Structure 1
Amino acid sequence: MGTQIRFEARTWQVSGLVDGRVHLVADDGTTGCVLAAHLVAADGFEVLGQATLQVPAAPVWAALPLPARERAMAWLRHIREVETGLPDGPGSGGELRPEYDPQRFTLAEREHAKAKELAALGWTKVSRPTVQRMRLAYQRQGLLGLVDKRSLRASSPSGRPDERVVAAVLEALRQRRGRRATTVKQVIDLAELIVTETYGKGRVRLPARSSLYRLVRVLADPAEPPGSPARTATSPDRAGGGPPALRPAERVHVATARLGIEVVGEDGRPVAVSVIAALDGATGCVLAAVLHPQQATPVELSVLMAEMAVPLAMRPRWQEMLQAAHEGLPERLMTLPARLEATAARPAAVPETLVFGPAAAAVTPWFLTVCESLGVSLEAVPARQGGMRSVAGDTVKVLAAVFTRHAAEVRAAARPGMRSQDNMARQAEAFFSLLHLQDVLDEWITARWHNRPQQALRHPLLSKAALTPDEMWRVLLGVAGGCVSFRGCHFEVSSGVTRGARA
């Protein structure tokens, strides 16, 4: 949001990212919308850098009180009139009022005229310095610079104590974690001792005891508040697994399953195939699925990470290869134009935490370096541990079984003369090459699996309706916020994700 780009010989600003489409705003107020994959592949496309946000992020703007938004929009017209002479800016075609003519009056004179006009309209405490201050704030911060700063103050659950006190309380809670006899008073005493030892006696002003009590209760772990019995690590939580994923790409689980189909190997012999998939824990979306011959050694995660981070539409010559694949196999779930558009909007992300089983996936030193540079945390889960990993493993097994039936149907449709029930499955095993079957899998995930309702996916306001992974992605992406930053060639939503290709 707010990134300035060069596209079609014009300078634009990114004002929104929705379903793989980039919404743009030009300097003269012209708006546009273009597919992200088409935008970044266009000739002359260039990212000019992070400019001043002229358009605030939608969640930030929507969270402001209505009177604050209305007053900011009113100031916007007045500031534009002072700067350009027209209330709606250059190119609006409005009528130029004589007192704001840039050819006749200086900027200071136009600011003075605007202050007199606003005072006559009933605006209080408006002078020429006020108009100048608002104009400069708009140049630095865009529309948010015109908002009353009291409306931008975010409330904190811990109130307004000194940050050093908050850090000391958190450290005291960490040191006392797991102790059965811990009380709130003991946490407060330990926090005061930490403050004194760190900053010196009397250097940091401590809040009242009542405030410290509230602060400890707010910052304490709800599952283990002070005074509760300690949780031990001798037995796993019966609820299962690690922490739940609350936003897209927060926790991505890696699981593998065998396919009931064989492909034609390089030597012409049938080869058994498995699929390793990266499943988003919050939405159920398959961020990556890679077919590989069955082998005793674990599969390297580097290929899977590349599949997640780089959408298909961003890869060189992908459209040409897809067109050739469509010509080679006429029976398709989607037409070529529909496939291109759906693939551009398919979820793609770099995970925050990658959960995997050491027996199924291998981690190399080079891959660890890549994860460190991208800010990806790795979490190795033992094979016998329950929870989300077992759920992800079961889901991938279901995916493999359903796709095996689909692949057999595709093979039967391509060769309608061979429909013997006793040998059709084995004949299907030797029909595809590995790359051909990978293309069929990618199409099937986009067209069918992401649009297949799952009982575990529920909207908070529609608890009786099972959502599809694609619908759940959209719901949680909206809840997580639309603030999108760019780091390298992947998206983040306040350290997470978006849909489509990079921008």
Structure 2
Amino acid sequence: MKAMAGSRIRWRGTEYEVVMIQEMSALLRHPGGGEVEVSVDELNRAAEPVATRRLHALRDVFVDGDELAPELRIWQEAIERIRGASDAFGLKDKAVAEEAARLAGALGRSVSPRTVYRQLQAYERDGLRGLLDQRKSGAGAGRSRGVDPRVVVILNSVLALRSRSSTVSKAAIIAQVRREIAAAHGDEIKVPSDPTFYRLLDEEDRGRFSFGSAKTREALALAPEGEFGRRTALRPGEQVQIDTTRLDVMVRIDESTIGRPELTIMLDVATRSILAAVLRPEGTKSMDLVVVLARALVPYARRPDGARETRQLVSTAWADEALIEQERFERLREAQPFIFPETITTDRGRTYLSRHFRAACETLGISLVTAAPHTPTDKPHVERTFESIASLFLQYAMGYVGRSVEHRGRDVESQSEQLLTIAQMQELLEDWIAVEWQNRSHDGLRDPLHPTIMLTPNEMCRAFRQVAPELHVPLTREDFIALLPVVQRRINRYGVTIDHRVYDSKRLAEYRRRESPAKSKQGRWPIRVDPYNLHIVWLEADGEFIPLRWANDVHEMPMLGDVWRYARDEYRSGGSRRDDTSDLVDAMRGFAAKGNPKVAARRKARAAVVAADPMNPTSVARSEVEDASDLAPAITDVAAPEVWPHSGGFALTNDDIDEVRRRLEE
């Protein structure tokens, strides 16, 4: 565009009118009335023509290449005839009236001479673009052009304060705006009608979600205004982000508790590699973050004894059932790249600000960057990774609850018997990261010159290593164990008990039933525990870590392992649950504690007399005689004492009894 005196240009974000142009400078007039002199070289370099912002309207001028739109062609022909008419003796006004009648017939609607004059002025000012219907082209003013600007300001202030409020209807917002207009301006402002208010709400609420999801509205409000800043990672480990979220899946925490665990992941920005991922029950502690750090700094191949055994023990459920060799999982686990984090970006959670986590990072030479308050865009990559884990992995798991209550089904609670344990979900997640995530093409790793090429995290890491090779030495076995959480236990003659499991070692012989030298621990010894290593724990004593192995090897025996698996399934299905027998147990315990009732001396004497009476049907003596008659041939040689030494005053008249007595006395 050639700028001349009277033209309007844009320079440094402000529109100016060109007043005068000289050889080396130009005089510009500010809309406020002030004038400024600018060199021509500066204007040629940085000035923009104001008309260029309206060039988008030319897309509606032409159709099928160079062919004018039919309505524009009709208007152009009419305008050209009017411009060719003479201004003398009112001939131009007559031409305008004739063209108005002709246009009405051609366009099928009424066209007034005033409209023709307006189109004539627009054509002379803007050319063909001026003949467009400004309402259809969008170049004209918005629908709020007839509304007092102060109404729009109040409406926007009300909508801006709704970012953290519950979602309400448009009618409630309109009523609030009306009240604020009356309080601020009284009757000075004409309040728009309800239809106008609804149109204003549609225009001003675009992108705010004031009447949609409250969660989306709050997330958008937290985004910074203006352009997002970008920091390009130049090498692996330069920018690492860590965060914790509650997963949208139910797992079995223990045999009596189910819940949604919390996942903590550490992500490298340069390669999009997940360096570590740890599941914990709700309420992640600072020690759990140190475990995440330990798993990131020690590759799977260098972890202490028991890590592989635990993984194979847990993964048997999905590997053996599909007849997949465990070595394939092992190879993919070992292929994950080792990346040492130089800086870690965290949020302002209490666990991330804890002295424990910060001291561990400081000892390892890792810098911590704390995100700004309520600014999730400071660590967007790890936030987005959580959504990817949910869509690519969690939604396929039993017990998936959806991203909100309205997406949750009714069968979640009924599946409690089939839910995965937290240990199974941990190993399954780590296997998924090694198998799929690290070998899946990532949109953030797209080649800028060839956008169709996307790399995987493993490929991106190998590419960095080729261009900028670095030597990162992983932590040793001792360093890994030193980062693990500590539990205090006494060393008994059989070993130590942790989570109902007994751990023992031959090297415990010199420590059994000894008290720890630390007086504050009441004789208990420090034991280092990896939450997801069932086989090994480590006793910290005399400056070294002594490994203690799980003493119960039942799960390693083929038949007994199957027996316990069937027993667990039956227990969870409720088949082995006993009926309520507490009343029976209480009755037995009560009788055992009370014993038989004590018999009085008089009652004992009476019972003895009755027992000695041979005429009594229940007499003990009588029963002994009857029993003895059956055994008489066998005891003829035994000298028996007198059967009734204190017999009563009744004579015996029964011959059988006399015969028995005679035989016994012989």
Greater C-alpha Rg: 2
Q: TM-score, normalised by structure 2?
A: 0.34
Which structure dedicates a bigger proportion of its chain to strand?
A: 1
Q: Which structure is higher in helix share?
A: 2
